[in-house]
Structure 1
Amino acid sequence: MGSKTIAVTMGDPAGISPEIIIKAMAEGSLSGAPAVVIGCLHTLRRVQALGIVPKVELREIQRVSEAKFTPGVIHVLDEPLANPQELVPGKVQAQAGDLAYRCVKRATELALAGEVQAIATAPLNKEALHSAGHLYPGHTELLAKLTDTRDYAMVLYTDTLKVIHVTTHISLRKFLDTLNRNRVETVIGMADTFLKRVGFPNPRIAVAGVNPHAGENGLFGDEEINILTPSIDAMKAKGIDVYGPCAPDTVFLQANEGRYDMVVAMYHDQGHIPLKLLGFHDGVNITAGLPFIRTSADHGTAFDIAWTGKAKSESMAISMELALKLA
């Protein structure tokens, strides 16, 4: 995996994050991989004491440079909870939301300083984040704020299907009211740049329509005529191999079968539903546009099974492997 190092942020400690981090890093290709965990060491040890994760050494370090990566050892930059003994698994808690924020902030500082070359984030809980006073819709917006990044987009990534979003955590009404050519063109450009960065020399990009049948020539809506088609034509003129507007009910299947390398989805559920249906356990969330690589497990905190041993770590492991590869 090379000499690069990644940071792994704990996310919400009351969810499945501590469990899936240890499971992912304890065995297989990630055992001894160049990755340091930023999170509450006390909580990691509490979860380990339950006997639901493989036995590994959780070794505290003060700096990334101290880590000596060997199988059976997970290096931890301790970011302690305010009251670790009071943490209740499966419950929304302000101290857990605050910890999730601090872990991401610390990882961002390390990445910007060049001490780590990528970040893999475990799931956080938005309600807990907000209850701690950190009013961000999610990781993507938080990372953009911490890095002063204006143009960014959420990418969902599997081996066969890759989706980038024009909008994510806003209502459908707000999406329709604010959709504009500048944003669509920006996201098409980010899709092209991202794909080239991860190994696609000649990316083929499809743009999903807004309306049923991509508007059917204005019969079901005019966003395709007034916004999407001019945007696509403008990016084609810049040399990008982009297609559309494509019917949303078929374009994701076509991409999954290899016709396109990425689909530009208009809003959150348009892109998330097909990808999670086809790749729930191996999908990775990536933030395009940041000054460093950021990947994430493409699922939530799963409070209902937190600290029970039932959580699957495949998505977390794949997100870490992809972060190491891209770094």
Structure 2
Amino acid sequence: MAKRPRIALVMGDPAGVGPEMAVKLLSREANLAAADIQLIAPHSVLARGEEIAGTKLDLGRIAHRVQRETGAAPMGQCTAAAGATVLEALTAATDLAKDGIVDAILFAPMNKHSLRLAGMDEEDELRYMQKRFGVKDFVCEFNITDNLWTSRVTSHVPLREVADLITPQAVDEAVRIIDRALRRAGIPKPRVAVSGLNPHAGDGGSIGMEEIEVIAPAVEKLKRAGIDASGPWSPDTVFIAARRGDFDAVVSMYHDQGQIAMKIMGFERGVTLHGGLPIPVATSASGSAFDIAGRNVARIEGLQAAFDLCVRMAAAA
């Protein structure tokens, strides 16, 4: 029988929609029945989420690990205080995971600029948690909408740096990590499409040589290793085929190449899963949404899907 999952929940940026979304998630009876939840938040952030959502949580059924207050976080603004709240919560959540107290981490939307204002030196929260867990191998964000998964060779880096980071090893790692994850998710031989970097996948070398010199050789090597990889596919059409069901996953070369397509296909229900960490770590694909913070209009389909994925993966581990 599958074990009952234990999930740490971080409420996200206190100036955004995260606290509201977390409260709405925890107000659903089915979610409380599905897992043991460790809620990590200062009293003020929990109270803010409850006030906006118009819901009082049953803390008799949720373990609330109270954080210290880090200062005022005005709604809809990036501040060091807001970032510090999230960093401390992520630190606490990873500590719980390393101590074997939780099996997965779920976080509501956070804001990367606030995290950096608070002193985060890493590229993003994934790399922050990679360091906390001591993971030396390749890590990557997976974006999931319904049955389609994506990974990417580069992530939160300036666009002008992308081409230099597209190497045979980087392509190889981005394909292998999502192939492994999909196999663990129950797909025995995932079909992985690898995107090109340039328009029309380079058009035979007339719009760039990365496809010929780097991406295609990496794909051929992966095929020889028994992975069902194909490409490089033209970036402007690969997601049409993927939406049709031709592939289980698409590996894109940079952040917006995949994210724009995935968010158009299902922004409200999209999930981000952090691949390569020792436990499942997931969130919704949507961001901190400062423009609607405090209005009680944030939808939680994506966070619910992320919670459901954490439950399934933790129960199967």
Equivalent residue of 1:200, what SS?
coil
Counterpart among 214, 217, 224 of residue 237 in structure 1: 224
- Rate the CA distance shift 1:28–1:165 in 2: closer, same or farther, 3 A: farther
Decide whether aligned partners of structure 1 residues 109 and 133 sit closer, same or farther in structure 2, where only a CA change above 3 A counts.
same
Over residues 223-253 of structure 1, what are the superposed CA-to-partner deviations in whole Å (9 max), with x where a residue is unaligned?
0100011101111111101111111111112
What code does the residue aligned with 1:49 have?
A: E
Determine if the alignment matches structure 1 residue 76 to structure 2 residue 69: no
Q: TM-score, normalised by structure 2?
A: 0.93
Q: Does 1:91 align with 2:109?
A: no
Pairwise CA distance, 1:2? 4.2
C-alpha distance 221-154 of structure 1, shift in aligned 2 (>3 A): same
- Which residue in 2 is equivalent to 1:271? 258
* Pair 1:109-2:111 in alignment: no
For 2:287, the equivalent position in structure 1 comes to 300
Residue 5 of structure 1 corresponds to 6
1:275-327, CA deviations, whole angstroms, 9 ceiling, x for partnerless residues? 00011011100111111111111111111221221111111111111111111
Structure 1 residue matching 2:269: 3-state secondary structure: coil
Asked if 2 retains the 8 angstrom alpha-carbon contact of 1:22 and 1:53, the reply is no
Which one-letter code corresponds to 1:48 in the other structure?
Answer: E
1:74-107 per-residue CA deviation (whole Å, 9 max, x = no partner) reads: 3321113223xx3322222211101101111111
Residue pair 1:120, 1:294 contacting (<8 A) in 2 also: yes
| Partner Cα separation in structure 2 for residue 82 and residue 185 of structure 1 | 42
After superposition, where does 1:253-272 map in structure 2 within 5 Å? Answer: 253-272=240-259
1:161, distance to aligned residue in structure 2 (A):
2.1
Aligned counterparts of 1:137 and 1:53: Cα–Cα separation in 2: 35
Displacement after TM superposition at 1:28 (Å):
5.1
Instruction: Measure, in 1, the Cα distance between the counterparts of 2:7 and 2:310.
Output: 7
Q: Structure 2: where are the runs of 5+ without partners?
A: none
Q: Unmatched 5+ residue regions in structure 1?
A: 60-72
| Contact 1:207 1:244 survives alignment (8 Å) | yes
User: Offset at 1:217?
Assistant: 1.4
Contact 2:4–2:34 (CA under 8 A) maintained in structure 1: no
% of aligned pairs identical? 35
**Any residues of structure 2 matched to 1:44-193 within 5 Å, and which?**
44-50=46-52, 52-59=53-60, 73-83=61-71, 86-150=72-136, 151-193=138-180
The 2-side partners of 1:47 and 1:4 are apart by: 24
- Could you tell me how far 1:178 is from its partner in structure 2? 2.3
308, 313, 316: which is aligned to 2:300?
Answer: 313
State the AA in 2 paired with 1:311. Answer: A
Q: Which residue of the partner structure matches residue 66 of structure 1? A: none
Please tell me whether the aligned partners of residues 18 and 108 of structure 2 are also in contact (alpha carbons under 8 angstroms). yes
In structure 2, what is the Cα distance between the partners aligned to 1:257 and 1:158?
13
Distance 2:150 2:242 in 1: 9
Give runs of ≥4 in structure 1 deviating > 6 Å: none
Helix, strand or coil: the match of 1:20? helix
Contact 2:5 2:103 in 1 (8 A): yes
Corresponding residue for 1:212?
Answer: 199
